[in-house]
Amino acid sequence: MKDSQTKEIKLLEKRFTELSRLAYQRDIITYSDFLNLSEQNILHTLPKDTLYSRYVSFGGYELAERQMAAFIPDALYLCYGKKELSPEEIGYPFRAVRVAPLNRRFSEELTHRDYLGAILNLGIERAKIGDILPMDGDALVFVHDDMTGFIQEQLVRVRHTSVTVSEVPLGEVRYTPSFEEIKGTVASVRLDSLLPLAFSSSRSRLSGLIEGGKVYVNGRLITSNGYQVRDDDVISVRGMGKFRYKGALSRTKKNRTYVVIHKYV
């Protein structure tokens, strides 16, 4: 299993390097497929001298978990006269589609898993699909350009519910994740102190998740329990959810830190 994982990592690193090289040599933007947290971490931890260009990533909205990386040559920044480019200027090759029931009165209550299963059953690779956001009886799905038309034509049912698929211009996507504000005291602003506050569980159990490679901070894998979290860092725990550390409010008489976090729901 480890040999297989190592081979997959090496292939992905090679792919990132090749995309970066093409961007540099041809003065064009090149793009990855949608990357999960583990794949994003591989990109983030590549040695700087491995890549030929800068890169940025985007998934259609702030806090998107699955994101597409764009490798951008320096010449393009000079052309625009900017240090940073907007998603519109970068032109990521994906779109948003809305999956809605044909008849809301007879539709089922569908979950993320239901939508994902229906899409994958069409034979589409997971890497061509970004985040899936169920909301108000519909779902917003980010889809690679190559697959958008196919999904609009072929996705006609999710479980037992007949659906219709329509494109939503990316510029019109307005999605802000809902969150629960949690306040409490911690011994220190360490990762293993904040997780129990966010997920209402024991420190020993959640520390095992950190050591087990299931915790990411701003898309980077963190395996140290003592990692010091900074204001506005986004912490994702695979299988449990994510939260944003908003900062410290005060110190208590027992020298504990009173903090506030936003847990996304």
Percent of the chain past pLDDT 70, that is, above it, reads 99
**What fold characterizes domain 94-172?**
Alpha-Beta Plaits (3.30.70)
The predicted pLDDT at position 2 comes to: 61
- Residue 119 near residue 128, CB atoms below 8 Å: no
Q: What value does the mean pLDDT take over residues 111-119?
A: 97
94-172 against 179-264: fold identical: no
pLDDT band of 71, cuts 50, 70, 90: very high
CA distances from 206 to 65, 146, 194, 235 (A): 21, 40, 10, 13
pLDDT, tens digit, for every residue of 168-226?
A: 988 888 888 899 999 999 999 999 999 999 998 888 788 789 989 999 999 999 999 99
The predicted pLDDT at position 144 comes to: 97
Domain 179-264 top-level CATH class: alpha beta
The predicted pLDDT at position 98 comes to: 97
The predicted pLDDT at position 41 comes to: 93
CA distances from 164 to 12, 87, 149, 157 (A): 35, 27, 13, 8
* Per-position DSSP letters for 127-140, written without gaps between them: GGEEEEEEETTEEE
Instruction: Give the domain ranges of the chain.
Output: 2-90, 94-172, 179-264
pLDDT of 21 > 80? The answer is yes
pLDDT, tens digit, for every residue of 141-173?
A: 999 999 999 999 999 999 999 999 999 988 888
Give bridge partners of residue 95 from the DSSP assignment: 143
